[in-house]
Amino acid sequence: YTEVLFSKDGNYLYTGGRKDPYILCWDIRNTVDIVYKLYRSCDTTNQRVQFDIEPCGKHLATGGQDGMVHIYDLQGGQWVTGFQAAADTVNGFSFHPYLPLATTSSGHRRFGMQDEFEEESSLAGDENCCSVWKFSCSQES
């Protein structure tokens, strides 16, 4: 599984494969070289870790197996900020198309050994859930 997403201007393509710790930025006018790489922690999970570009087209956000959401500036690929969205893998991220909102999904299946089933298992409030976050982008040039 590889996720692909065009930039808002259509000149760049972002690709991120399963277990690939980087989202790659390609200039579709010159596909020989990678423009830059955006780090995400997903190299030891089998889950698909999704990413999205906010409606203004200036930032990309991605989840990861560390429970973090990382936000990057797309002009040069620099990390801008991040936040702890869950205690478990953040496997989904999506910006609302016009409201200042974003959503994350988190969690995964766990298969334990026989003795582990004897212990009571509980999930924290930020595991195996969908969360909605207030998020706004700067429209400055």
Domain 2-108+124-134, what fold?
A: Methylamine Dehydrogenase; Chain H (2.130.10)
pLDDT of residue 136: 73
Q: Mean pLDDT across the chain, nearest whole number?
A: 85
pLDDT of residue 112: 62
Least confident of 27-31, 59-63, 87-91, 113-117: 113-117
Q: Alpha-carbon distance 38 to 25, whole Å?
A: 8
The answer to whether 132 and 101 have CB atoms below 8 angstroms apart is: yes
The answer to whether 64 and 49 have CB atoms below 8 angstroms apart is: yes
The reported pTM is 0.81
pLDDT of residue 81: 94
